[in-house]
Chain A
Amino acid sequence: MAPHVKIERGTRTSRIAGRLALVLLAALAAAPWWTGRANLRLLGEFYTFVALASLWNLLAGYAGLVSVGQQAFVGFGGYVLFAAAMFYGVPPLLAIVLAGVVGALIALPMAPLLFRLHGAYFAIGTWVAAEVFRLSFAQVSVLGGGSGTSLPARLVTGIAATRDQRDMLLYWCALALGLGTVAMIYALLRSRAGLALAAIRDSEIASESLGIDIFRTKLAIYVATAAVTSMVGALIFLQKLRISPDAAFSVNDWTAYVIFIVVIGGIGTIEGPIVGAIVFFLLRETLADLGTIYLVILGMVAIAVMLKAPRGLWGSFSHRTGIVLFPLRRRVVHPDAR
């Protein structure tokens, strides 16, 4: 037995980055005092996209579950919030948490059905499921049917009395949810579950013969992702104060852009979705006035990155420099080990 063995998790770079991140975070948390309403909204939206992209990356990049139907949970979470607030008087901020719980409960029976499908069939299956959600909610007339509904004014003022206070509160919710999502994913990937995911990704047959329960591992990831995606969806439509089936279950907004972000930034890295979201928002804010041309440029950027840097911007940078901000490795410190 070796008594002096230590396992190191961090690197020098990651420790420095961690300190810088705290400073950045303090600055972002104080944003209501140094920037205006428009920027606050933009940042809030940015955090929700960081969360959605990180979640999709966990699902597709780490668990191999390439879903194009996560809009099912974005929209479902949004509708749960509206229904809970309008019909049961649940305070909207509490309803965000409730949306997470209900999102998990609905994902649980969906997973075994979807997991029978593999590869492209799984992707199509998730999309079909999302369409079923959209068509179903369009039938619910108390929620406005196909044309949707707005959050009643009394509920809006119930969040906070003034518009400024509401903006602040929702901004902090978005920051907390974006940050919490990245932190949760980082903790998960550093844990035993992360070990199982990495093993399954490399060899299912060896994983199974070493005692890993592949089905349960993927189920847990799918359900956890659905829960947090539902919470993000609830917050998104609380920011918008209005929901409709087409907006709630939009494959464009909640899946196509999200996949763009992850692929541009670097799939299978924690930093990638954050970098991708920054690039996406920069492009959108500078080019969105161009209309259709903007979408053409997005497509060209995606193609250029896939050809020149198939690992994504962060993935390629990290591969070249060895820099990792969220290290997952375990390093054995042992007299004989290099």
Chain B
Amino acid sequence: MASVPLLSVSGLVKRYGALLVTDDVSLTLAPGEALGILGPNGAGKTTLFNLIAGTVAPSAGTIMFAGADVTTLRARERCRRGIARSFQIPHPFVGMTIYENVLTGAAFGRGLTERAAQDRCIDVLERTGLIRKANALAGDLTLLERKRLELARALATEPSLLLLDEIAGGLTEAECQSLIGTIRDVRATGVSIIWIEHVVHALLAVVDRMTVLDFGRKIAEGDPQAIMASPEVASIYMGLEDHGGAHG
């Protein structure tokens, strides 16, 4: 890749006791690029996001982001620098409205005052199709709305890197299509994306490149079509695409 990478992970290892969950993973992401991550349940995909976002500390390895070593930074500091994520299991602030959820992202992730954050939040709600529900309590949402809220809250922090963890999981085909549209729009604004997903056609509609994880190891990486045709993926994914909404 010609340009300086936005994200560069090298030799990343995570152990939980004797369990090796992330096994010497290295990957790079160019500015504006979208990378898909495939892998069976328990492969260590969410853990990789936890490591990149700073939610958990690695046992070894380094994480460079936007030219700086962020390996020892806390999650909130990485967010301030432009890394935002959605959670596989949505974590809405259930006692707040949708607007207040998004405002929290803009106010703290970007350090904006409420006034300054206001227009940005409305813009994010419009882009993510949540404006009609702006005043609804986050505890009263449908699954699709909760997934959209995860996306909206992350976008409100104005990230340069967006980590999406099985955000299309459990949605109907129509819901999935509309979400793909929203994510493509986000991409078009120049945000880099890493997207973990079992719903392969959703990934194929968005990403430039695909990585496959299995037992914490990177076992394949490259052009999405080539990856889908590779024997590694075929062996892991036999049958998985049928229940594409499976949770990990």
Contact = CB atoms under 8 A, between A and B. Distances in A.
Nearest to B78: A209
Contacts of A5: 118-119, 122
Contact of A332 (B75, B76, B99, B157): B99
Interface in B111-154: 111, 113-114, 118-119, 122-123, 126, 131-136, 153
B100 A330 contact: yes
Given A210-B109, A211-B108, A336-B132, A195 B122 contact: no
Contacts of A209: 53-55, 75-76, 79, 84-85
- Sort chain B's interface into a size bin: 35 or more
- Sort chain A's interface into a size bin: 20 to 34
B76 A199 contact: no
B122 A213 contact: no
B201 interface: no
B93 to A, nearest CB: 4
Contacts of A337: 99, 131-135
Given A206-B87, A330-B100, A198 B93 contact: yes
Given A2-B119, A202-B92, A331-B135, A211 B103 contact: no
A296 interface: no
B62 interface: no
Contact of B95 (A201, A207, A330): A201
Contacts of A198: 93, 95-96, 100
Nearest to A208: B75
Contacts of B104: 195-196, 199, 207, 210, 212
Contacts of A205: 55, 87, 91
B208 to A, nearest CB: 25
Interface string A201-224: 111011111111100000000000
Interface of B: 53-55, 74-76, 79-80, 84-85, 87, 91-97, 99-100, 103-105, 107-111, 113-114, 118-119, 122-123, 126, 131-136, 153, 157
13 contacts: A5-B118, A192-B107, A195-B107, A196-B108, A201-B95, A202-B95, A203-B92, A207-B104, A207-B108, A208-B76, A209-B75, A330-B100, A337-B133
Q: Can you list the 4 inter-chain pairs with the closest CB atoms, starting with the nearest?
A: A206-B91, A211-B108, A211-B109, A337-B134
Given A202-B96, A211-B109, 15 more contacts: A5-B122, A7-B99, A192-B114, A195-B96, A195-B107, A199-B104, A202-B94, A203-B93, A206-B92, A208-B55, A208-B76, A209-B85, A210-B157, A211-B110, A336-B131
